[in-house]
Structure 1
Amino acid sequence: MGDAVVERRSGSVPVQYHQFDIKDEAGPVGPELGWGEAGFVVVMDGVIVVVTGVHTGSVEVEVALYEAEPGVGDGVWEEVVEISACSVSGDLQVRGMMDDLDEELPVLAFRGAGEYRLRVHARGREDGGDLDEGYLVQVWPAPVRAVAVPRQESPGTARALR
């Protein structure tokens, strides 16, 4: 496991309609992935959608970039999903669905265009707006692999939104 962090930064991400996005404006990041196939993460129209408990507002998101696969985050994370993403332009980023971030988070495709693995952690989604709702996105260069759901303690919100 490659626990050496290349960069780590967190910030407030705007949420609308229970979601924020991870996308590359130049093209799709991966094949479609429907509701329930990967917990609280969906891929629609080539965009990775992270389904939140908050309907409208903001959530805290931490981005951590690694050269190699890190260990899964500690026990504060109730849900964890791993997904592969391809960045066409090298500009794969966490973005609000309709609003820009006040402060930019690191570009996820930190080694340029290519394939990456994203491990998205969530906590507090079931509280639907509790101040403790937060996310950690770990990213490292890796070839495409199947979706994995290493931890899923509270699947109710994603199911209720379908």
Structure 2
Amino acid sequence: MVALSQGEAMSVIATGEGWVFCDNHQFFLTPQLWWPREFVPEGPNRLVTGAGGSARISTGIATGGVAVVAELHDSPPELATGAWEDVGEASVGVSRDALYVMSADASSREAFPNLAALGAETLRVRVHAIGRMVHYDGSRHRSEEKYLIQVWPAALAEDTCLKLNAQMRAGLTAPTGPTPALPPPPVLPPRSPRPQSYPG
């Protein structure tokens, strides 16, 4: 559902929320109304990656539904990490005055506003996430993962990590302890000698 805010004192211009279907550990903010075909590599902050006129949001589950709230602001919102586990920022260059939360099955189109509606040429995207490690690399119809996406007009800047939980920071493939030693090979019983001749 998309809601519009009234009054110049409000930083939030429009907001929407809904379930977004992700695939390959990702969903997107895109100017087009279809799912990008290519896999976008995860960026250094491990959460949101600017990719030209789009942004990739990295999810914990490989495929399934995540809960998303998206907000369009007219100025930078106050940073409040709170209980969020991961927070990152990236920049997006706007094309066609359009930027939408895009689900892998394109079902999210009506739930979210046009995040480029203010007409700015470049936008800053801040993504907050929680629950990405609960079912990492799994598949859930509706997972425990939650995301808050905030977008506002701003000049291009480097991707930034503002908060990252310990498991993500250590690396998902990093060993959790010393590698255990291999067990010694089993001791086999001695073989019986082969007969030199066989009875005829």
Instruction: State TM-score, norm by structure 2.
Output: 0.66
Task: Indicate the SS of the match to 1:103.
Answer: helix
1:160 to 1:47, Cα distance in 2 relative to 1, 3 A? farther
- Indicate which of 102, 106, 111 corresponds to 2:113: 106
1:98 to 1:6, Cα distance in 2 relative to 1, 3 A? same
- The CA distance in 1 between the partners of 2:22 and 2:59, in whole Å, is 8
Percent of aligned positions with the same letter in both sequences?
A: 31
Per the alignment, residue 143 of structure 1 pairs with 155
CA deviation profile, 1:47-87 (whole Å, cap 9, x unmatched) = 42211112222111101111110112341211111111111
1:111 to 1:44, Cα distance in 2 relative to 1, 3 A? closer
Larger-gyration structure (1/2)? 2
CA deviation profile, 1:82-130 (whole Å, cap 9, x unmatched) = 1111111111111023433263301110212511111011110011258
1:54 has 2:61 as partner: yes
Higher share in strand: 1
Q: How many aligned positions are there?
A: 154
Q: How far is the alpha carbon of 1:43 from its aligned partner?
A: 4.4
1:69 has 2:81 as partner: no
Task: Kindly provide the amino acid, as one letter, of the partner of residue 133 in structure 2.
Answer: E
User: What pairs up with 1:81-100 in 2 under 5 angstroms?
Assistant: 81-100=88-107
1:8 to 1:95, Cα distance in 2 relative to 1, 3 A? same
- The CA distance in 1 between the partners of 2:167 and 2:116, in whole Å, is 28
Cα pair 1:40 1:155 within 8 Å, conserved: no
Cα RMSD over matched residues?
2.9
Highest RCO, 1 vs 2 (Cα 8 Å, sep ≥ 6): 1
Task: Indicate the SS of the match to 1:145.
Answer: coil
1:5 has 2:12 as partner: yes
Q: How far is the alpha carbon of 1:131 from its aligned partner?
A: 3.7
Question: Structure 1 regions of 5+ residues with no counterpart?
Answer: 27-32
- The CA distance in 2 between the partners of 1:143 and 1:10, in whole Å, is 26
Instruction: State TM-score, norm by structure 1.
Output: 0.80
- The CA distance in 2 between the partners of 1:141 and 1:152, in whole Å, is 24
Task: Kindly provide the amino acid, as one letter, of the partner of residue 146 in structure 1.
Answer: E
- The CA distance in 2 between the partners of 1:101 and 1:157, in whole Å, is 30
Per the alignment, residue 29 of structure 1 pairs with none
- The CA distance in 1 between the partners of 2:24 and 2:171, in whole Å, is 15
